[in-house]
Amino acid sequence: MINIQQLGWDVRTVGELDHRLLKAPRVKLRSANPGKNGDVAYCVDLRVNKPNAGEYLSSTELHSVEHFLLEGLQRYLPENFLSIGIMGCQTGFYIVLLNEGRSEKICSVLANIFSDMLTATAVPYTSIEQCGNYMNHNLELAQNVARRVLDAKPDWLDVV
């Protein structure tokens, strides 16, 4: 059994919620899916912009922040990181982790990644060999997103 509360999440906010209630920037557990052998896949929503509030991440912002999250999650959670994806609604990112569902750990890793972004001199993986739209990146725009997300860190887990 997975004890969501023990992992540091508000049990009432796990799963799909009315998007009108969601605040941002926030970090929310979407699901914890146990496999037959005891491993658990955790899906985490990193919501950067409030849904339907008129302000969306541009495709460049989504793309460059996605690259930083990909690089950082691999570096900080090499045993646990499975996947990162952008939300099609342009308000955030989906993160999938194996056997790491502790809110404190996940938030500290994300804080490290966003802090690293502020001093980065380039977006990672932007060569034509590594990216499918390699011209569509902007370090400064990504850093502005990072700064905004970090500013909200004390409230990250207060999702509604």
Instruction: Tell me if 24 sits within 8 A of 91, measured CB to CB.
Output: yes
Binding segment for Zn ion among 8-16, 30-38, 51-59, 130-138 (CB under 5 A)? 130-138
Nearer to Zn ion, 56 or 125 (CB): 125
* Closest distance to Zn ion from the beta carbon of 131 (Å): 3
Angle, helices 59-76/103-119, rounded to nearest 10 degrees: 120
Q: Which residue from 42, 34, 49 is spatially nearest to 15, judged by alpha carbons?
A: 42
Q: Tell me the three state secondary structure of residue 72.
A: helix
Q: Would you count residue 131 as binding Zn ion (CB under 5 A)?
A: yes
Between 108 and 133, name the residue whose CB sits nearer to Zn ion: 133
Decide whether 131 or 150 has the Cβ nearer to Zn ion. Answer: 131
Q: Which two tokens stand for residue 66?
A: 């996605």
Token readout for 83 is 């996947």
User: Judged by CB, which is closer to Zn ion: 106, or 146?
Assistant: 146
- In angstroms, give the least distance from the CB of 46 to Zn ion: 17
Contacts with Zn ion, residue ranges (CB under 5 A) = 131
